[in-house]
Amino acid sequence: MVQRTKVDRCRALDAGVSWCVILKRFMGSKREPIAQSRARRLLSSALLLTLVLTAPLAAAAEFVFSITEGITYYQTNKEIQAKFAPLADLLSKALKQPVRMVIVSAYNDLRDGLDHQAYDLAFIHPAHVALAAIKGGKYRSIAWTTGYTDYSVMLLANKEQPFATLDDLRGRTIVSPDPDSITAWMLRAMLHDQKLKPGDDLKIITTRYQDAVPFYVQYGFATVGATAAKAVAKEWTDKGGKVVLTSRPVPIKQWIVSSKVSAEDADKIRAVLLSVAQSDAGKQALSTLGYKGFVATNHDDELKAIAWLGL
């Protein structure tokens, strides 16, 4: 019988012969136990090598972080990702694993991903989407964004309009941003409080962006306009217009974490977010991001918002 040399075995590997085939040849030979001993050692070495190579990969599994900003035309996905990159690095260091950012612009795509718990962590501008995920029990909130905890809808009107209550708007037309925007959801909640039904008691027309709302009011396409953008409302009032009514506040730009994420990792994420303004690296991340910081959530306020929005 011809004995295989190490060179023969290497040639066999180079030719694409699997470990199992080589070991079978060793074990199937009629040689004395020495060959079998070598085969066992070879198998042990192969298994050890496999464990050594795959263990780091398992430990470094990706942590998926989704980002959904509001309906916007002035930021590309690439620009949004660049803004969040320094903060994602801080989260990666705290979690000791890679963090992969995913920009999810379409709200229905976001809903589908949340329903399948495709994201470990999510930053979500539209509160109604985040709160629905919280209500469903698949996610829990861990932080809100400073300056966005009291998001309110303002109804704009020309200064000569006499309206003082929502009931005064019966038979009138309201212009609202995109029907699936948080502003539109809050507007419908306002009307529901006063038992006003869109289509029956008044008419709602929509425009995709909040910036366009004043145009519709100014030129008579709508009696009042709904916006939650403070800059839009300020520009309107600076030009002589007025704010007729303001809704109750709702927190937006929420951070939520999947129920699949361990409590330990959720605490690490929360710690990074709530203390981010206290370190130089955190301050730099906030400067790039454009937010002032993040604050603790209030579960009671979330439950109230869920009920008010009819989620």
Average pLDDT score over residue span 174-179: 95
**Average pLDDT along the chain:** 85
Cα–Cα separations (whole angstroms), residue 197 to 187, 207, 226: 11, 19, 16
| pLDDT confidence tier of residue 209, bands split at 50, 70 and 90 | confident
pLDDT tens sequence across 248-263: 999 999 999 999 999 9
Residue 15: left if φ>0, alpha if ψ -120 to 50, beta else—which one? Answer: alpha
Helix (H, G, I), strand (E, B) or coil at 271: helix
275/51: higher pLDDT:
275
- pLDDT score, position 72: 61
- pLDDT score, position 41: 55
- pLDDT score, position 34: 52
Domains present along the chain, CATH in parentheses: 6-59 (no CATH), 63-149+255-309 (3.40.190.10), 154-246 (3.40.190.10)
How far apart are the C-alpha atoms of 153 and 117, rounded to whole Å?
30
51/114: higher pLDDT:
114
Lowest-pLDDT range, 20-34, 169-183, 226-240? 20-34
